[in-house]
Amino acid sequence: MARDTSPIVKQSRREGHALAPKAHKVMVKKSGIPGEHSDMRVRGGSLYLTQLREKQKVRRMYGLLEKQFAKLMKEAARANGLAGENLLQYLERRTDNAIYRAGFATTRRQARQLVTHGHFLLNGRRIDIPSIRLKPGDVLEVRPKSQKSEYFKDLENIIASSQQPPLSWIKSNGKKMQIEITGIPKREEAEAGINEQLIVEYYSR
């Protein structure tokens, strides 16, 4: 399964946005663009560059490759409603993102790994595909065998220490190790600091 394995901190510095919790500390000391001649490169510039950087930021934030992201954008543009909001909704409803948003993982990369290793059941069936799009009524739960692992034994503490805000479309239960999808993500519940219109404009060129 194809995935982007480049260092998340380096990606964060390139986009000027902390894409994972551990990037915050590093970016306090090193906030510039990575690379030997980073001080010679200037941010800003053309509208195209602004659109590109916004697209790259969001793509890397949710852990998608370019082909996956472009395909999702095409689907969002065909659907009813605003293309940008549709895109964010599709990204939020990914299985790996829902697990991260519920506090069952500290990063999206970790959530993705938990899914690919087969630790979750979706409506009673084992899954290993992080990109499955969840819908209202779906229930994710940790496999009985996986519940015995050291990681999931400490799940309630992991959820308690999570910095994720409560969401209207997710109901999590640490004791039952269960996540219930109760609705559709609202625009304001997506990650902060995203300008989806720039992404729409980028793909509309």
pLDDT exceeds cutoff 80 at 125:
yes
Whether 27 maps to a domain, the answer reads yes
Question: Residue 58 belongs to a domain with what CATH number?
Answer: 1.10.1050.10
Quick one: 62 and 144 in the same domain?
A: no
Quick one: 57 and 17 in the same domain?
A: yes
Quick one: 58 and 36 in the same domain?
A: yes
Quick one: 173 and 99 in the same domain?
A: yes
Which phi-psi region, left, alpha or beta, contains residue 45 (left: φ > 0; alpha: ψ -120 to 50)? left
- Least confident among 2-11, 48-57, 111-120: 2-11
Q: Which amino acid is at 144?
A: P
Q: What is the pLDDT of residue 195?
A: 97
Quick one: 56 and 105 in the same domain?
A: no
Which sign does the torsion angle of CA 157, 18, 55, 167 carry?
positive
Whether 13 maps to a domain, the answer reads yes
Q: What is the pLDDT of residue 205?
A: 87
Quick one: 110 and 48 in the same domain?
A: no
The domain of 62 spans 8-91+192-203
The rounded distance, in Å, linking the Cα atoms of 101 and 162 is 9
Quick one: 80 and 157 in the same domain?
A: no
> Which H or E element spans position 180?
strand 178-181
Please report which confidence band the pLDDT of residue 92 belongs to, taking 50, 70 and 90 as the band edges: very high
Nearest alpha-carbon partner for 181 in 141, 145, 127? 141
Contacts of 38 (CB under 8 A, 6+ apart): 32
Whether 3 maps to a domain, the answer reads no
Average pLDDT on 157-170 reads 93
Q: What is the pLDDT of residue 43?
A: 54
| 120 φ, ψ (degrees, to nearest 5) | -120, 150
Question: Residue 103 belongs to a domain with what CATH number?
Answer: 3.10.290.10
In 10 A of CB 150, how many CB atoms?
6
Whether 114 maps to a domain, the answer reads yes
Quick one: 100 and 174 in the same domain?
A: yes
Quick one: 82 and 98 in the same domain?
A: no
Whether 75 maps to a domain, the answer reads yes
Whether 12 maps to a domain, the answer reads yes
Please report which confidence band the pLDDT of residue 36 belongs to, taking 50, 70 and 90 as the band edges: low
Please report which confidence band the pLDDT of residue 1 belongs to, taking 50, 70 and 90 as the band edges: very low
Burial track 129-144 (b if 16+ CB lie within 10 A, e otherwise): ebbbbbeeebebbbbe
pLDDT exceeds cutoff 90 at 3:
no
Q: What is the pLDDT of residue 40?
A: 45
Quick one: 121 and 134 in the same domain?
A: yes
Quick one: 35 and 70 in the same domain?
A: yes
Encoded tokens for 115: 């899914």
Say how many domains are in the chain: 2
Quick one: 78 and 112 in the same domain?
A: no
State the pTM of this model: 0.82
The rounded distance, in Å, linking the Cα atoms of 66 and 56 is 9
Q: What is the pLDDT of residue 37?
A: 47
pLDDT exceeds cutoff 80 at 161:
yes
Q: What is the pLDDT of residue 45?
A: 72
Whether 2 maps to a domain, the answer reads no
Q: Which amino acid is at 114?
A: L
Whether 1 maps to a domain, the answer reads no
Q: Which amino acid is at 131?
A: S
Q: Which amino acid is at 75?
A: E
Average pLDDT on 90-111 reads 97
The rounded distance, in Å, linking the Cα atoms of 83 and 66 is 17
- Least confident among 30-39, 124-133, 155-164: 30-39
